[in-house]
A and B are shown apart, each in its own frame.
Chain A
Amino acid sequence: MKTGFCVFLAAFVALGASWFGFVYGPLKQLGVATETKVLQSDDKWPVQRTGDATLGLQVYRANGCAACHTEQIRQTGAANELSLMNLGVHQATDLKDFIASLLGTVPELMNFSNAVAGNLAGWKGELPKLIYSGADDTVVLLLGDKLKAVGVKTEARVVATGADIARMGWGVRQSVAVDYLYDSPVQLGNLRAGPDLANIGVRSPDLNWQLQHLYAPKSITPNSTMPAFRYLFTVKKIGAIPSPDALKLPLTQQPNEFTPPPGYEIVPTAEAKQLAAYLVSLKNNAPLYEAPFTPITAAK
Chain B
Amino acid sequence: MNSAENNSVCSNEIDASCRVPLLALFGGAALWLVLGLALGIAAMLSFHKPDMFADCPFLSFGHAQAAANDLLLYGFAIPAALGVTLWIFARLSQSPLALPIVPVVAANLWHVGVLVGTVSILLGFSTGHPWLEYPRGASVLLFAAFMLIAVSAVTTMGFRLNRELYPSHWFLFAALLWFVWSYGTANLFLVCNHPPRGVVQAVIGWWLTNNLIFVWLALAGVGIAFYFLPKIAGKPLASSGYALFGFLTLVFFGTWVGIPQSAPVPAWLPTVSAFGALLSVIPVFALGIIARKTVWGAKVPCFGGPFCFIRFGMLSFIAANLFYISEFCPRASRVLDFTWFNAGVTQWQLLGFAGMILCGAIYEILPRVMDRELPFAKLAKLNFFLFAGGTLLFVIPLLIGGVEQGMKLRDANIPFADASAVALKFLRISTTGQLLVLLGALCLLLNIFVMTLQWKLGLLKTVVGVVKDSLVEGSAYRPLPGDKSACATLQRDEEVKP
By a beta-carbon cutoff of 8 Å, the part of chain A in contact with chain B is 1-4, 7-8, 10-12, 14-15, 17-19, 21-23, 26-27, 29-33, 61-68, 70, 72, 74, 76, 163-164, 166-167, 174-181, 183-195, 217-218, 221, 223-231
B264 near A61 with CB under 8 A, answer no
Interface string of B185-210 (1 = CB under 8 A from A): 10001100001111111111011000
* Shortest distance from the beta carbon of B64 to any chain A beta carbon, whole Å: 8
**Of the residues A4, A67, A176, A178, contact of B158 by C-beta under 8 Å:** A4
* Shortest distance from the beta carbon of B313 to any chain A beta carbon, whole Å: 22
**Residue of B165, B178, B264, B265 with highest tally of chain A CB at under 10 A:** B264
User: Given known contacts A177-B199, A185-B129, A225-B421, is B338 in contact with A190 (CB within 8 Å)?
Assistant: yes
B197 near A22 with CB under 8 A, answer no
Contacts of B204 in A (CB 8 A): 22-23, 26
User: Measured between alpha carbons, how far is A152 from B316 in the docked complex, in Å?
Assistant: 65
User: Measured between alpha carbons, how far is A167 from B414 in the docked complex, in Å?
Assistant: 9
The 5 tightest CB contacts between A and B, nearest first, are A64-B62, A166-B412, A62-B124, A61-B128, A185-B128
Q: In the complex, what residue of chain A is closest to B69 when comparing beta carbons? A: A67
A231 near B244 with CB under 8 A, answer no
Is B147 an interface residue when CB atoms closer than 8 A count as contact? Answer: no
* Shortest distance from the beta carbon of A58 to any chain B beta carbon, whole Å: 8
Which residues of chain B (151-165) have a CB below 8 Å from chain A? 154, 157-158, 163-165
Contacts of B339 in A (CB 8 A): 191-192
Contacts of A17 in B (CB 8 A): 252, 255
B50 near A176 with CB under 8 A, answer no
Is B424 an interface residue when CB atoms closer than 8 A count as contact? Answer: yes
Contacts of B189 in A (CB 8 A): 23, 27
Interface string of B163-174 (1 = CB under 8 A from A): 111000110011
A163 near B410 with CB under 8 A, answer yes
Contacts of B164 in A (CB 8 A): 2
Contacts of B416 in A (CB 8 A): 167, 195
User: Measured between alpha carbons, how far is A47 from B214 in the docked complex, in Å?
Assistant: 37
User: Measured between alpha carbons, how far is A64 from B129 in the docked complex, in Å?
Assistant: 10
User: Measured between alpha carbons, how far is A7 from B166 in the docked complex, in Å?
Assistant: 11
**Of the residues A15, A175, A228, contact of B251 by C-beta under 8 Å:** A15
Contacts of A64 in B (CB 8 A): 60-63, 65-66, 126
A176 near B264 with CB under 8 A, answer yes
User: Given known contacts A63-B63, A223-B417, A225-B47, is B255 in contact with A15 (CB within 8 Å)?
Assistant: yes
B52 near A227 with CB under 8 A, answer yes
B128 near A187 with CB under 8 A, answer yes
* Shortest distance from the beta carbon of A138 to any chain B beta carbon, whole Å: 26
A33 near B197 with CB under 8 A, answer yes
User: Measured between alpha carbons, how far is A163 from B412 in the docked complex, in Å?
Assistant: 5
Contacts of B62 in A (CB 8 A): 63-68
B251 near A190 with CB under 8 A, answer no
Is B343 an interface residue when CB atoms closer than 8 A count as contact? Answer: yes
User: Measured between alpha carbons, how far is A26 from B248 in the docked complex, in Å?
Assistant: 25
* Shortest distance from the beta carbon of B180 to any chain A beta carbon, whole Å: 10
**Of the residues A10, A68, A74, A179, contact of B262 by C-beta under 8 Å:** A74
User: Measured between alpha carbons, how far is A166 from B196 in the docked complex, in Å?
Assistant: 33
User: Measured between alpha carbons, how far is A187 from B258 in the docked complex, in Å?
Assistant: 17
Q: In the complex, what residue of chain B is closest to A59 when comparing beta carbons? A: B124
User: Given known contacts A4-B157, A18-B256, A70-B338, is B51 in contact with A227 (CB within 8 Å)?
Assistant: yes
A15 near B50 with CB under 8 A, answer no
A224 near B417 with CB under 8 A, answer yes
A180 near B412 with CB under 8 A, answer no
* Shortest distance from the beta carbon of B268 to any chain A beta carbon, whole Å: 9
* Shortest distance from the beta carbon of B126 to any chain A beta carbon, whole Å: 7
Q: In the complex, what residue of chain B is closest to A34 when comparing beta carbons? A: B197
Contacts of A14 in B (CB 8 A): 248, 251-252, 255
A231 near B54 with CB under 8 A, answer yes
Dominant SS at the A interface?
A: loop
A61 near B126 with CB under 8 A, answer yes
B190 near A167 with CB under 8 A, answer no
Q: A23-B204, A190-B260, A228-B54 provided; 5 other pairs, C-beta below 8 A?
A: A3-B165, A23-B185, A62-B125, A176-B264, A178-B198
B248 near A231 with CB under 8 A, answer no
Contacts of A188 in B (CB 8 A): 199, 202, 263-264
A4 near B173 with CB under 8 A, answer yes
User: Measured between alpha carbons, how far is A177 from B62 in the docked complex, in Å?
Assistant: 25
Contacts of B178 in A (CB 8 A): 11, 15
B126 near A62 with CB under 8 A, answer yes
A186 near B173 with CB under 8 A, answer no
A31 near B165 with CB under 8 A, answer no
Which residues of chain B (408-431) have a CB below 8 Å from chain A? 409-412, 416-417, 419-421, 423-424
Contacts of A8 in B (CB 8 A): 173, 177
B55 near A31 with CB under 8 A, answer no
B126 near A231 with CB under 8 A, answer no
Is B389 an interface residue when CB atoms closer than 8 A count as contact? Answer: no
Interface string of B465-484 (1 = CB under 8 A from A): 00000000000000000000
User: Measured between alpha carbons, how far is A29 from B268 in the docked complex, in Å?
Assistant: 11
**Residue of B125, B164, B420 with highest tally of chain A CB at under 10 A:** B420
* Shortest distance from the beta carbon of A4 to any chain B beta carbon, whole Å: 6
**Of the residues A21, A22, A63, A229, contact of B54 by C-beta under 8 Å:** A229
A10 near B158 with CB under 8 A, answer no
User: Measured between alpha carbons, how far is A227 from B164 in the docked complex, in Å?
Assistant: 58
B251 near A180 with CB under 8 A, answer no
Which residues of chain B (27-66) have a CB below 8 Å from chain A? 46-47, 50-57, 60-63, 65-66
User: Given known contacts A26-B203, A186-B201, is B185 in contact with A230 (CB within 8 Å)?
Assistant: no
Is B342 an interface residue when CB atoms closer than 8 A count as contact? Answer: yes
B342 near A15 with CB under 8 A, answer no
Interface string of B209-243 (1 = CB under 8 A from A): 00100000000000000000000000000000000
A180 near B417 with CB under 8 A, answer no
B174 near A10 with CB under 8 A, answer yes
Is B259 an interface residue when CB atoms closer than 8 A count as contact? Answer: yes
User: Measured between alpha carbons, how far is A65 from B57 in the docked complex, in Å?
Assistant: 12
**Of the residues B52, B57, B169, B181, contact of A19 by C-beta under 8 Å:** B181
B63 near A231 with CB under 8 A, answer no
B53 near A227 with CB under 8 A, answer yes
**Residue of B202, B269, B339 with highest tally of chain A CB at under 10 A:** B202
* Shortest distance from the beta carbon of A19 to any chain B beta carbon, whole Å: 7
B181 near A177 with CB under 8 A, answer no
User: Measured between alpha carbons, how far is A187 from B158 in the docked complex, in Å?
Assistant: 44
* Shortest distance from the beta carbon of B413 to any chain A beta carbon, whole Å: 8
* Shortest distance from the beta carbon of A165 to any chain B beta carbon, whole Å: 8
**Of the residues B173, B256, B338, contact of A7 by C-beta under 8 Å:** B173
Q: In the complex, what residue of chain B is closest to A18 when comparing beta carbons? A: B255
Q: List 9 A-B contacts (CB under 8 A).
A: A4-B165, A10-B247, A11-B173, A23-B189, A63-B60, A67-B66, A68-B62, A167-B416, A191-B340
B169 near A15 with CB under 8 A, answer no
User: Given known contacts A30-B266, A191-B343, is B63 in contact with A223 (CB within 8 Å)?
Assistant: no
